[in-house]
Amino acid sequence: MSADALLIVYDGHCPFCAAYMRLLRLRADIGPVRLIDARSGDPVVAQVKRLGFDLDAGMAMRLDGVWHHGDACLNRLALLSTPSGLFNRANRLIFASPRLSRLLYPALVLGRRMALALLGRSSIAAEDAASARRS
């Protein structure tokens, strides 16, 4: 994958995050897109954590060499999406606004935490801590 690839790091164990990535259609002119599960051992995940991004508080993406996290990431993805399909149109309508993204993102994070708890899945940080104790 080229260094110019759009990188998106998201929680593959979260049903909302996984569905979002499955439903999102990005414009063809974006070029290659690399989706990375934040729970994988991919070196990009370690890089994102070294940058200080909390992957339990939001997904991260690298676009044109610049990292975006949480509401800023969601905002950029909305701007990069196609206008095709109801999901993409609604996503763009809501999250193309940086202000609305910033306002609504905490509710999305809370919904993610609640979904993980109901499904009996741990947070990314809890998995990291458990892995560190085993090492």
Q: What is the mean pLDDT of each run of 10 residues along the chain (135 residues)?
A: 77 93 88 93 95 96 95 96 91 95 96 95 89 79
What's residue 3's pLDDT? 59
| DSSP per position, 77-126 | HHHHB-S-SHHHHHHHHHHTSHHHHHHHHHHHHHHHHHHHHHTTPPPHHH
Angle, helix 86-95 to helix 98-118, in steps of 10 degrees: 120
Distance CA 83, CA 87 (A): 9
What's residue 1's pLDDT? 40
Q: pTM of the prediction?
A: 0.90
